[in-house]
Amino acid sequence: MTQTISPIVLDHPLVRHKLTYLRDRNTSTADFRRLTRELSLLLAYEATRTLSLVPYKIETPSGAYQGEQLDGKKLCFVSILRAGNGLLDGMLDLIPSARVGHIGLRRDHETLEVSEYYFNMPRDVPGRTCIVLDPMLATGHSASAAITRIKEAGAHKPIFACLLSVPEGIAYLQKHHPDVQIVTCSIDQKLDAHGYIVPGLGDAGDRLFGTR
C-alpha cells in the first residue's frame, strides 16, 4: 500500500501577508492577479525543493567551479484551466525552461462531478517532474481527475500546488492519489454547501479574469 504524503503548508510571513490581501473582497482584479503571481513564485520555490541535482562544471571569471544543475528533463507545469493559468505565469518567471500542459475540466455545480473538455501535454511527460496547478483544492474532484489523466500520459508522482485547500479536498485527493505531494499556502476551515472554500477567497477564476 502506498503511504499517504502529508501536505506541505507554506507558513511564511510573506505568504500569510499576501494571502490576507488576496482574500479581501475589496482587492481589485489587477491587484488580485499581481498577488497571485507573487504567491506562485513562493509556491514554486517550495514545490521544487526535492528536485534532484547532478554535478555541472563551469568556469567562473576567477577559475574552475564544480556546480550543480537539475537532473534529467526537468519540469512540466500542468495548468487546470482556467484559474490554473493565474499560477502558471509566476512559476514560468522562475523556471522559464519548463514545459507546459493544460487540462480543461468543468464542474457540475449540482453534483460537484467533473468532466474533461481539453487535454494537451508535452510528448516527453514521462521524463519530467509534473507540477499540477490550481488555485483551489476544494472538493478534490478536479485535482484528482487531472492527476489521473496526466498519470495516464506517463507522469510519475506529480506534485499538486494550490493557494488554498480544505481538509475535505485533501482527504479526497489523498484517497485517490496517496503518492501525490500537496503544496499549499493555507488549509482553510471547510467547504460550504455549494462546494466553495470557507473562508476562502471567492471564485479564483472570476477574480483573476474579472468575469463576475
Query: Choosing from 4, 99, 107, 179, which is the catalytic residue?
Result: 107
136 in a labelled binding site: yes
C-alpha cell at 203: 471564485
Per-residue model confidence (pLDDT) at position 183? 97
pLDDT of residue 1: 59
Output the average pLDDT for the chain.
91
Question: 61 among the known binding-site residues?
Answer: no
Listing DSSP states for 91-135 in one string gives: HHHH-TT-EEEEEEEEE-TTT--EEEEEEE--TTGGGSEEEEE-S
107 belongs to the catalytic site = yes
111: annotated active-site residue? yes
> How high is the pLDDT of residue 52?
87
pLDDT of the residue at 113: 73
Q: Is residue 93 annotated as part of the catalytic site, yes or no?
A: no
Return the CATH fold of 8-198. Rossmann fold (3.40.50)
**Would you say 142 and 162 are in contact if contact means Cβ atoms under 8 Å apart?**
no
Q: Is 203 annotated as a binding residue?
A: yes
d(CA 19, CA 12): 11
137 is in an annotated binding site: yes
pLDDT < 50 regions, the chain: none
Q: Is 206 a catalytic residue?
A: yes
DSSP letter (8 states) at residue 76: E
Spatial CA neighbour of 181 closest among 197, 196, 170: 170
Q: Which of 11, 60, 111, 123 is catalytic?
A: 111
Of 203, 207, 211, 212, the active-site residue reads 203
Find out whether 149 is annotated in a ligand binding site.
no
